[in-house]
């Protein structure tokens, strides 16, 4: 039996009455609630000290802000999860917001990890280096730093003052003479014995004191050592110590802006304007300013500062360790609750402050000024970007300015280490957390077959999209594809789009024009003659910028793959041989080839290699033969 043509789909009820119906089943427990639309998409995630009381507020027909009224009108169902305490509800709420990205919540969109400085612990001469990600390697970690640039500046200072090595262990073991770092007075050359282990350990301790803000003792000790060396007529050593004292003094002078009364804190300042927000976070550690970063949470026009800042804190510290103090520009809705939640995460007391006077207030004023200026720049850039998107739509006959542009490029050397790269651009510029790389897997591809590589990349991309977002509701599908190449590339991509039934997505090939000069690009579209834009058209510069960014990303990915392959050895595939044992084996035998030829007793003689592991290594290489 079939429906008659006049049959209409059943309308799903939404609004206050739907919410009212849940009150019968709720009690006064704390917990988290979710509001869902007619298609079961999450509109909003919230927490409550008393679920029944909170939900009853939404059931009222009037007295809501415009944003809340729109949310209520779209609500078709709700979900609830009770917790033991309101603190648990707060933590769960922020986890769900980050996971589900609801339409009506304040959302922190940039969630990158921060770099640290690592002083390694598994070597007689510890290495100092930048570290990002999980803290799995043994050693002392110092951070977080706001950016890689802030880490690099600090590492540069440490090398000038303390002459610590930054080379890898394999480079260290292979040196027979000092490298350039020693020549420019950035390293003490422990690799060739220019400094004793005891002296080097002392410089490591001094560097760690510097990273914890204890610089006065270091300068006094270096001065005493310089005087002693001078009295004993060790003038070369005295001159070296003098240079280190001078470098340390220069570092301290450059850090004159650092706070005296704040040893460990994050400075968090919020500025809002015209429904947009910028949060500036400054990282103060060991009385030193370790840089700042700006964030632009998604907010609505009628969201107040207290709600924005509380949501930001909950999401920002969800995966990060909070400092002892968080100094805020505004009060938040539940300061005691947030302090309890962060204290539980850190395992010691975390204090939230909103200073009115003194040095802390001055720090907030500086952060607020940065937030205000950063938001003004971003709003100006957004207006420019909107004009470019509109111009792009006009140039390529799109129905509307694109919200998501995907740009593709390949990189290889005569077919070797081939990778594909995808970058994403939108109304707010490049969306770097959406970039993707593709290791080319096609075994039947002819080396250097750019058309075949592009077909493989696009096949995998559309296959994933159809699996993850078949209804195109989650904003993952592109509104425009830009392909690096001409008619051949466009034809190859068109085949894939037809195969996956996605011919409705506009696609343009960007080919270098005459003499391959920038500014003479030709644009290729299916069923159209190639065309060009005028030389000084801002849209042309925008397309060039996107193509160059895709090329940069593809080249970087290709180089990383090539470097990894160059550094690989047969030891990488031996079960039970990790990085530390690999280093020990290479240091003992000199090469992977020598390891493969070693007998069982020689393998057992390597420090850290047990009899069982020696047997596995021996069997692996001799079975391979």
Give the phi and the psi of residue 551 in degrees, each rounded to 5. Answer: -65, -45
Quick check: 483 and 509 in contact, CB under 8 A? yes
- Tell me the residue ranges of DSSP E strands in 454-574: 480-484, 507-511, 522-524
Q: Does 463 share its domain with 542?
A: yes
Specify the pTM: 0.72
Sign of CA dihedral 185, 187, 189, 190: positive
Quick check: 544 and 480 in contact, CB under 8 A? no
Q: Helix (H, G, I), strand (E, B), or coil: what is residue 129?
A: strand
Residues of the chain with pLDDT under 70: 1-10, 111, 215-216, 247-258, 413-416, 442-448, 513-519, 562-569, 573, 623-625
pLDDT by residue (tens digit) across 282-341? 999 888 888 889 999 988 778 899 999 999 999 999 888 899 999 999 999 999 999 999
Domain end (from 44, 68, 100): 100
Retrieve residue 409's tokens: 């490029």
Q: Indicate which CATH number applies to the domain containing 96.
A: 3.40.1440.10
Q: Terminal CA-to-CA distance of the chain, rounded, Å?
A: 70
Rg (CA), the chain: 30
- Nearest C-alpha neighbor of 437 from the set 564, 295, 544: 564
Instruction: With respect to residue 304, please indicate whether it lies within any of the assigned structural domains.
Output: yes
Q: Does 525 share its domain with 577?
A: no
Instruction: With respect to residue 399, please indicate whether it lies within any of the assigned structural domains.
Output: no
Domain count across the chain: 5
d(CA 566, CA 607): 26
Q: 595-604, long-range: CB within 8 Å, 24+ apart, which pairs?
A: 595/571, 595/621, 596/570, 596/621, 596/624, 597/621
Q: Does 555 share its domain with 574?
A: no
Q: Does 42 share its domain with 170?
A: no
- Nearest C-alpha neighbor of 388 from the set 435, 433, 429, 424: 429
Instruction: With respect to residue 155, please indicate whether it lies within any of the assigned structural domains.
Output: yes
The residue length of the chain stands at 625
Q: Which residues of 294-309 are buried (b: 16+ CB within 10 A; e: fewer)?
A: bbbbbbbeebebeebb
Instruction: With respect to residue 246, please indicate whether it lies within any of the assigned structural domains.
Output: yes
Q: Indicate which CATH number applies to the domain containing 409.
A: 3.30.420.340
Q: Does 418 share its domain with 342?
A: no
Instruction: With respect to residue 394, please indicate whether it lies within any of the assigned structural domains.
Output: no
Q: Does 354 share its domain with 454?
A: no
The alpha carbon of 47 is separated from its chain's Cα centroid by a whole number of angstroms, namely 28
Q: Does 276 share its domain with 246?
A: no
Q: Does 432 share its domain with 559?
A: yes
Q: Which H or E run includes 131?
A: strand 128-131
Q: Does 222 share its domain with 303?
A: no
Cα dihedral 48, 52, 54, 60 in deg (nearest 10): 170
The alpha carbon of 158 is separated from its chain's Cα centroid by a whole number of angstroms, namely 25
Q: Does 87 share its domain with 125?
A: no
Give the phi and the psi of residue 421 in degrees, each rounded to 5. Answer: -135, 140
Instruction: With respect to residue 173, please indicate whether it lies within any of the assigned structural domains.
Output: yes
The domain containing residue 250 runs over which residues? 116-254
- Nearest C-alpha neighbor of 421 from the set 467, 454, 463, 387: 454
Domain end (from 47, 73, 100): 100
d(CA 616, CA 600): 10
Q: Does 89 share its domain with 123?
A: no
Instruction: With respect to residue 391, please indicate whether it lies within any of the assigned structural domains.
Output: no
Q: Does 208 share its domain with 222?
A: yes
Domain end (from 254, 283, 306): 254
Instruction: With respect to residue 167, please indicate whether it lies within any of the assigned structural domains.
Output: yes
The pLDDT score that the predictor gives to residue 485 is 85
Q: Indicate which CATH number applies to the domain containing 615.
A: 1.10.150.20
Q: Indicate which CATH number applies to the domain containing 326.
A: 3.30.420.10
């Amino acid at each position: 039996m079939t429906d008659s043509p006049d049959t209409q789909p059943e309308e799903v009820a939404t609004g206050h009455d739907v919410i009212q119906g849940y009150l019968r089943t709720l009690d006064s427990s704390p917990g988290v609630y979710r509001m869902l639309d007619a298609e079961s998409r999450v509109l909003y995630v919230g927490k409550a000290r008393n679920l029944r009381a909170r939900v009853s507020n939404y059931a009222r027909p009037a007295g809501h802000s415009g944003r809340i009224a729109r949310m209520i009108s779209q609500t078709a169902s709700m979900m609830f999860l009770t917790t033991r305490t309101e603190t648990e509800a707060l933590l769960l709420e922020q986890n769900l917001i980050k996971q589900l990205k609801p339409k009506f919540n304040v959302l922190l969109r940039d969630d990158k990890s921060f770099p640290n400085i690592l002083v390694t612990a598994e070597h007689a001469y510890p290495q100092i280096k930048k570290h990002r990600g999980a803290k799995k390697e043994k050693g002392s970690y110092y951070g977080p730093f706001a950016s890689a640039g802030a880490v690099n500046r600090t590492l540069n200072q440490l090398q000038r003052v303390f002459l610590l090595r930054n080379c890898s262990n394999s480079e260290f073991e292979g040196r027979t003479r000092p490298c350039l770092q020693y020549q420019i007075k950035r390293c003490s050359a422990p690799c060739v014995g220019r400094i004793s282990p005891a002296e080097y350990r002392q410089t490591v301790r001094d560097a760690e004191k510097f990273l914890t803000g204890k610089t006065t003792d270091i300068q006094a000790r270096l001065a005493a050592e310089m005087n002693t060396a001078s009295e004993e007529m060790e003038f070369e050593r005295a001159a070296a110590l003098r240079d280190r004292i001078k470098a340390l003094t220069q570092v301290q002078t450059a850090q004159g802006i650092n706070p005296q009364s704040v040893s460990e804190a994050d400075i968090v300042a919020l500025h809002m304007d015209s429904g947009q927000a910028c949060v500036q976070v400054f990282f103060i550690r060991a009385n030193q300013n370790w840089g700042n970063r700006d964030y632009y949470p998604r907010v609505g026009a009628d969201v107040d500062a207290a709600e924005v800042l509380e949501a930001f804190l909950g999401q920002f510290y969800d995966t990060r360790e909070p400092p002892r103090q968080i100094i805020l520009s505004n009060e938040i809705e539940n300061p005691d609750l947030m302090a309890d939640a962060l204290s539980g995460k850190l395992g010691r007391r975390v204090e939230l402050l909103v200073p009115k006077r003194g040095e802390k207030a001055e720090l907030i004023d500086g952060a607020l000024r940065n937030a205000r200026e950063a938001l003004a720049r971003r709003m100006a850039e957004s207006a420019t970007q909107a004009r470019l998107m509109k111009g792009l739509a006009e140039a390529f006959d799109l129905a509307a300015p694109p919200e998501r542009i995907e740009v593709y490029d390949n990189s290889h050397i005569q077919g070797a280490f081939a990778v594909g790269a995808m970058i994403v651009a939108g109304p707010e510029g490049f969306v770097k957390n959406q970039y993707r790389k593709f290791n080319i897997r096609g075994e039947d591809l002819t080396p250097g077959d750019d058309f075949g590589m592009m077909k493989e990349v696009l096949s995998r991309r559309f296959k994933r999209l159809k699996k993850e977002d078949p209804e195109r509701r989650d904003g993952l599908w592109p509104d425009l594809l830009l392909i690096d190449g001409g008619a051949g590339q466009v034809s190859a991509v068109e085949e894939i789009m037809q195969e996956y039934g996605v011919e409705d997505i506009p696609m343009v090939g960007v080919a270098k024009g005459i003499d391959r000069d920038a500014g003479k690009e030709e644009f290729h579209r299916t069923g159209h003659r190639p065309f060009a834009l005028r030389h000084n058209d801002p849209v042309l510069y925008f397309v060039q910028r996107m193509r160059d960014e895709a090329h940069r990303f593809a080249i970087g990915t290709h180089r990383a793959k090539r470097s990894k392959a160059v550094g690989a050895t047969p030891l990488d595939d031996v079960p039970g041989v990790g990085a530390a044992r690999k280093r020990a084996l290479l240091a003992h035998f000199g090469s992977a080839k020598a390891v493969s030829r070693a007998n069982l007793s020689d393998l057992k003689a390597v420090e850290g290699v047990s009899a069982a592991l020696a047997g596995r290594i021996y069997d692996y290489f001799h079975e391979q033969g």
